[in-house]
Amino acid sequence: MTGIWQDTPEGLVPLPTQPFLREENLHDSIEQAPAMLPLRGQPRLVMLGREVPLGNGYADLVAVDADTGQPVVIEVKLAANADRRTVFTQVLGYASHLFRLSPEAFEELIRPHLTKRGASSIAEAVGAEIADGSVDLDVFRGRMTTALEEGRIRCVVVLDAASPDLIDLAGYLQAVTNERLDIDLVTVSAYEVQGTQVLVPQLIEPERSPLPPPVRPPSPSREARPVAGSALFTASIDSADPAHREQLRLLSAWAHELESEGLATLYTTVGKGRWVLSPRLPGQTRSMIIIWNARGAYVSPQRTVIEAEAPKALARLDERFPNEIRQNNSLTNPVDQEILSLLRDAYVEAAQRRPHAAE
């Protein structure tokens, strides 16, 4: 049984779960950090839209798997919701509607939601979310087209608690559906720890389900897979052009300081002749900037992420460096302590906003 246990003078005692006041609170958390969902195959989900019209209803959240191109429908229901038993009917209806859509129709359906996120296409949204060089967008477009044509849809049902009958139903659906339809059941429990809400997600795998983990197609390049940590990036500096080593060491030290303060988690992607360091927001796959060692030292801001997570810091950056903070461009101004300090402020602002978003 998943839970949080507290050490007290009387011994270890389980903390009681806290109810979600509204389904929207859980929607917010998943939308902000879809990586929190412990799904089979560990897909890298990119959120596309919320309350997306699909057939006769509105899907709570629609995402896409950045590696397989598979559309993902996420439906959230709380125990207090009287129609919770119909949640599987809902997600299957949404999946059938997506199956009938052409890639162009899917893009058009999602476009108003993409516009709110500052993207003009699904591929652009994927490129902005996972900007570490590990996704070939042309390959992604082809895989998404194939997934839609073949009806390869993933349905994720998220509950605050799963009753035995719902678990049995999930197991039955997993057993009778083919490899084109993935169905996942996830529970998310909320706890209060020292005045802060802590969420504990758990993948529910019914005993009846004989499905093996899905076979995922290989990435465009086996090298282009993010690896936790910065050791590979740091080691690459000594092999860089001597003219750029000092700048790379400055950027590496800045990123390490972010991580030491709990403001970011570092990931490195290695490609042909390039090393990419991504200071991701904690618990997310998104970074506010990307640092490149690619025949030089480069910094690429991710404007859509900064705009969503740290609007005040973005305003200061735009005032000090007009037209410099764009989407995945390379900074043209000298990357010195001044601009690094302002970018650090963005990570600080995001950290300060995060607890409020979870409440």
Angle at Cα 28 formed by Cα 26 and Cα 29, nearest 5°?
65
pLDDT at 175: 82
**pLDDT, tens only, 145-160:** 999 888 899 999 999 8
Q: Give the whole-angstrom CA distance, residue 184 versus residue 63.
A: 14
Whether 359 shows a pLDDT value over 70: the answer reads no
Whole-number average pLDDT of the chain: 86
**Higher model confidence: residue 251 or residue 295?**
251
**Does residue 123 contact residue 137 with C-beta atoms inside 8 Å?**
yes
**Which of 193, 187, 194 is closest to 167 using CA atoms?**
187
Residues 41-54: what's their mean pLDDT? Answer: 93
Phi, psi dihedral angles at 143 (to 5 degrees)? -70, -35
Beta bridge partners, 11, equal 8
230-258 burial: b if 16+ Cβ within 10 Å, else e? beebbebbeebeeebeebbeebbebbbeb
Confidence of residue 216 (pLDDT cuts 50, 70, 90): very low
Q: 207 pLDDT band (50/70/90 cuts)?
A: low
Strand 11-14 vs strand 45-54: parallel, antiparallel, or unpaired? unpaired
Model confidence at 211: pLDDT above 50: no
Strands in 181-193's sheet, in edge-to-edge order, are 45-54, 57-65, 71-77, 153-159, 181-193, 196-204
128-158 core/surface letters (b: 16 or more CB in 10 A; e: else): bbbbbbbbebeebbebbeebbeeebbbbbbb
Tokens representing residue 222 in the block = 């086996």
Alpha-carbon distance of 309 to 299, in angstroms, equals 19
- Give the three-state DSSP class for 160: coil
Q: DSSP code of 282? A: T
pLDDT, tens only, 300-347: 999 989 998 999 999 999 999 998 898 878 888 888 999 999 999 999
Average pLDDT rounded to a whole number, residues 118-147: 90
Q: What digits encode the pLDDT tens for the residues 222-245?
A: 446 788 999 999 999 988 888 899
- What are all long-range contacts of 194-199, with beta carbons under 8 Å and residues at least 24 apart? 196/355, 196/358, 197/18, 197/355, 197/358, 197/359, 198/4, 199/29, 199/36, 199/358
pLDDT at 143: 92
pLDDT for position 221: 44
